[in-house]
Amino acid sequence: ASKAEGQNRLHRFEPGLLLVRRLRSQLVEDLRATLKDGGLTLHYQPVVELATGRIEGVEALVRWNHPTRGFIMPDEFIPLAEEAGLISELGLWVLRAAVHQLRDWINASLVDSRFSVRINISATDLQSLQFIEDVRNVLKETGVRPEQVVLELTEVAIVRGNELDRYSLGGLRGLGVGIEIDDFGTGYSSISYLRRLPVDRVKVDRSLITGLGTDPTQPALVAAVLQLIRACGLEAVWEGVETAEQAELLRGLGCLSAQGYFFSRPVPPEQIPELLAGQAESAARQG
């Protein structure tokens, strides 16, 4: 009897599960289609040199403009793309779109050779030898200098640190592109890997600065993290700066670069020229 009951229960729940599954697979189909017909766009968020206000580069952040659901944010569809085996295709689209955009800005003399575009790459990209070829190809076809392209990898992706990953990192490094660890301080945070990995910079997760400006013990923590990163021969970028006070505290602590809503939200590429023009003014004001 209990077995029959169990089956009944299962039946009662099934329509709901099916619905969720159908919505999911519809979304996967939509994503598959949108990769073909251009429903993805990139927004760009400035990374700012704290001492001068100069925009040293931008981070490309993908958005999905869904025909009926509006903008869908990456935290919602990147995991879906991973599961559905679409992440490589998505990663290639982002890589190409971002580097071509940078090429256009360079050609329009909007940015100089110090300006970089940062691209988030997934653990899957890192594991694929094809991805190294893709990076090589897009650099070749655009003529963009490799130093102007920085790949952001999360700690979680890097820390697994198997042989293949290390080989791929070496391969990417060999092309001359920059490598940055993203979301530092949220993952498994093995400190020793900071010294071992072939990376250039570390982007500290915004959770490490949320208390800055309110919690009096926070500056000491930021100073310690900065010191740790520098002791490993690396430089830090601070993300999630939302207030003038936070920016000022970071600058005072000797931090060089930061990113966050205080400087600018991620914006569509059409708004970048205006932001670049504003930066010149603020630099002039500072003398």
Contacts (CB under 6 A) with ligand C2E, residues 139-158 = 152
From the CB of 199, what's the least distance to ligand C2E, in Å?
A: 15
Kindly indicate which of the ranges 21-29, 70-78, 155-163, 166-174 contains the residues binding ligand C2E, using the contact rule CB under 6 A: 70-78
Helix, strand, coil shares, percent, the chain, to 5: 55, 20, 25
Q: How far apart are CA 150 and CA 133, in angstroms?
A: 16
Contacts (CB under 6 A) with ligand C2E, residues 232-261 = 239-242, 260-261
- List the single partner that 148 binds among ligand C2E, Mg ion, none, CB under 5 to 8 Å by kind: none
End-to-end CA distance of the chain: 84
Is 139 or 204 the residue whose CB approaches Mg ion more closely? 204
Q: Is 73 in the site for ligand C2E (CB under 6 A)?
A: yes
Q: How far apart are CA 98 and CA 96, in angstroms?
A: 6
Q: How far apart are CA 184 and CA 154, in angstroms?
A: 7
In this structure, are residues 66 and 52 in contact, taking their beta carbons and an 8 Å threshold?
no
Of 229, 234, 180, the closest CA to residue 57 belongs to 180
Is 89 or 242 the residue whose CB approaches ligand C2E more closely? 242
Is 13 or 80 the residue whose CB approaches ligand C2E more closely? 80
| Site of interaction with ligand C2E (CB under 6 A) | 45, 61-62, 73-75, 78, 91, 94, 120-122, 152, 182-183, 206, 239-242, 260-261, 266
